[in-house]
Amino acid sequence: MIDDPAIRAGGESNGERERRPRRRSGGVTLREVARLAGVAMITASRAINTPDQVSAATLARVREAVETTGYVPNMLAGGLASTRSRLIAAVVPTIVGPVFLETIQSLTESLAAAGYQLMLGQSGYDGSREDALLDAIIGRRPDGIILTGIMHSEEGRRRLLASGIPVIETWDLTPNPIDMLIGFSHEKIGPAVVEHLLARGRRHLAALTADDERALRRKSGFVDAARAKGLTSSGLDGLPTGIVRAPTTLGSGRTGLIDLLARHPDIDAIFCSSDLLALGVLIEAQMQGIPVPRRLAVVGFGDLAFARDLNPALTTVRIDGTSIGRLAARLIVDRAEGRPVNDRVVDVGFSIIPRAST
């Protein structure tokens, strides 16, 4: 080889063996900033990350150097050195389908305010990509993982536990959380809705729900509570129910109502597993000339922005998604910064927003 180190070294100084160069990221590094400010790298680092550990004069000089060079710290390097990536991962079944949006929104904002960035992953409604996604996430060494309304495999649980990364499960209340939990009881929603409908004089209840796990549990709570009150449809053990494919659409609300009415013409109240379904029911009812709420009461779930503006305004179950996101951010950040977290399980509850549709 002509590329003999000795020959190459000759050019350098006298004996000085030539170090091979390496592709660099191209940007300004902390070394450069430190040199410009006339301090050691570590001091420059402190000036940037823990400003109150350096003197005012030094701080000013470092700040100026940062300014003139346009230095942006490489957080990959910082994360590697400190084992704190300042990345938080959030997993949702799917981002279309507006249920988790509020949560993601407030999560992103709260995290950004604390200097953290959100990584987003979609597991698919059937959790198909969940395990592969988990590896991709754990590989990035996030400081926390937020699971949004998700059923995880045993294998997934193990990997999460083994990774040692703080985990928050949300939008549900499981008996044995992996780590932390912020959610509410889907089972308890059903009875509350039954209560509400009974109070409004309804006796022939029905449910229209998506076939996803949590919606089905809400439905079960509803059906069981109705049965406990002695409300069973003629010839049925439980209640008239319609099941539609998740994610729910307005269209499936319309066909769902048609189907339910065909089988049970006497129903006078429907609990839908999403506001979108409820909107479909409202529209179909109106087309068929069925007055809401006079002949048919409709309850949704989610309290999406449009619910209050419908005609009639939609009675629905409200989950404070914004609180969930904000709280999740706080817990995760507290954990990441080593502050103690006392409430590892938080039930944010739900509320029924009574409006004109019931």
Partner DNA sequence: CGCAGTTACGGTAGCGCTACCATATTCAAC
Partner DNA sequence: GTTGAATATGGTAGCGCTACCGTAACTGCG
Please give the structure tokens belonging to residue 44.
Answer: 């420059």
- Three-state SS for 9-39 is HHHHCCCCCCCCCCCCCCCCCHHHHHHHHCC
Contact between 51 and DNA (CB under 7 A)? no
- Closest approach of DNA to the CB of residue 62, in Å: 9
Among the listed residues 73, 53, 108, the one whose alpha carbon sits nearest the alpha carbon of residue 326:
108
In sign, the C-alpha dihedral spanning 117, 123, 124, 129 is positive
Binding mask 248-287 for a second copy (x = CB under 8 A): -xxx--x---------------------x--xx--xx-xx
Shortest distance in whole angstroms from residue 118 CB to a second copy: 5
The answer to whether the CB of 17 falls within 8 A of the CB of 9 is: yes
Closest approach of Cβ 179 to DNA, in Å? Answer: 21
> What whole-number distance in Å separates Cα of residue 256 and Cα of residue 242?
6
* Partner that binds at residue 46, options DNA, a second copy, none, CB closer than 5 to 8 Å by kind: DNA
What are phi and psi for residue 243, nearest 5 degrees?
-115, 130
What number of other Cβ atoms are within 10 A of residue 211's Cβ? 14
**DSSP SS3 for 121:** strand
Looking at residues 306 to 325 of the shown chain, list those that interact with a second copy (rule: CB under 8 A). 306, 308-311
Please choose which of a second copy, DNA, none residue 276 contacts, taking the beta carbon within 5 to 8 angstroms, the exact cut-off set by kind. a second copy
Residues at the interface with DNA (CB under 7 A): 1-5, 19-27, 29-31, 38-43, 45-46, 48-49, 52-55, 57-58, 71, 73-74, 77-78, 80-84
Residues at the interface with a second copy (CB under 8 A): 23-27, 70, 72-77, 79-80, 83, 85, 87, 94-96, 98, 101-102, 104-105, 108-109, 112, 115, 117-122, 129, 132-133, 135-141, 159, 162-164, 249-251, 254, 276, 279-280, 283-284, 286-287, 305-306, 308-311
